[in-house]
Amino acid sequence: MNVCVAINRCFVAALRCGSKIGGSEDALLNEDVLMTILNAICGFVAVAETSWIVFFLFTVQIPYDYEREGLFPITFLRFFCACWLAYSVPYHYWKARVARPIKLPQTATGSQCTVCEGPKPKLTSHCSTCGTCIYKMDHHCPWIGQCVGAHNQAHFFLFLWNVFLATVLVLYVEYDFWIENWKVWTVENYDGKGHGRKAVFTVIVVVMLHIIMVSFLSTYAFLVSGGLTYVMKMFNKQSEDSKQQLTPSIIHLRWRKYLAVRRGEWILKALFVPSDRIVRDYNFFHVH
């Protein structure tokens, strides 16, 4: 989440600074326009990165497996995993991007947001970029073009989880591919054999993504298990739920709610089977 916050602030600061240096104060874009541009750029980068990884996996690594291992069982299993991730990653990304914030009910005390004047239950924060109040707001994420909150937190986390699994598949499951190409690249008279530039570019992108995903997932493991959001942690706030003693059953219940696991479902299904987990009703977290 610090990554997203840093990107937001740096981008806005850079464009505002550029406008001032250009000497045209009238051309200074307002923050809403700047964030719209940032959302579009980050969305394009996210799609481009994942598309490249999928392209490389299906056009380079899978054919490499087939040439050396045959079809069954290794190549078939890797091909199946690649197909599953090629569907899961964009599925959860799109769901996290298009989910609409939960419509908030009027509170018993009648508390309202001082900005948008809408009802503001506990654990609700106003996002100036989205222009609305977000229940259980975590942070505004330029990669999905909106806030991460109760409505889309499951899909956002599952998007990160599946990107992490994709990096594991490319880096570790295909370790023999990288070992062979490393040997080719490091010979003194390297003459362009192997997959050269494509492989070098891919391993740089995937290693960077892998490190970022490990950082994100570790942070979320801490926050969700503790019943917190990034906003709560940043402002040192707690809810009634986060004040409970940390036990395995409490942690399990928090993850079920966070991943929108319905009654009768297993958490493993949420982690490995793409399905709609958008939360559309405020009461889901109070009667579930």
Q: CA-CA distances (angstroms) from residue 155 to 2, 46, 97, 179? A: 19, 15, 9, 34
Cα-trace Rg, the chain: 22
Length of the chain: 288
Q: Check pLDDT > 80 for residue 27.
A: no
Exposed e or buried b per residue across 118-141, where buried means at least 16 C-beta atoms within 10 angstroms of its C-beta: ebbbebbbbbebbebbbbbbbbbb
Count of domains observed in the chain: 1
The DSSP secondary structure of 245-261, one letter per residue, reads: ---HHHHHHHHHHHTTP
Main-chain dihedrals φ then ψ at residue 88, nearest 5 degrees: -65, -45
pLDDT interval class at 43 (50, 70, 90): confident
The 3-state DSSP class for residue 146 equals strand
Q: Tell me the mean pLDDT in the region 147-165.
A: 97
Does residue 73 have a cis peptide bond before it, meaning omega lies within 30 degrees of 0? yes
- Cα 251 from Cα 98, distance rounded (Å): 28
Structure tokens at 27: 């051309």
Q: Check pLDDT > 50 for residue 96.
A: yes
pLDDT tens digits, one per residue of 235-273: 888 888 888 989 999 999 999 999 999 989 999 999 999
Angle ∠(41,124,235) on CA atoms, nearest 5: 80
Domain that holds residue 164: 2-287
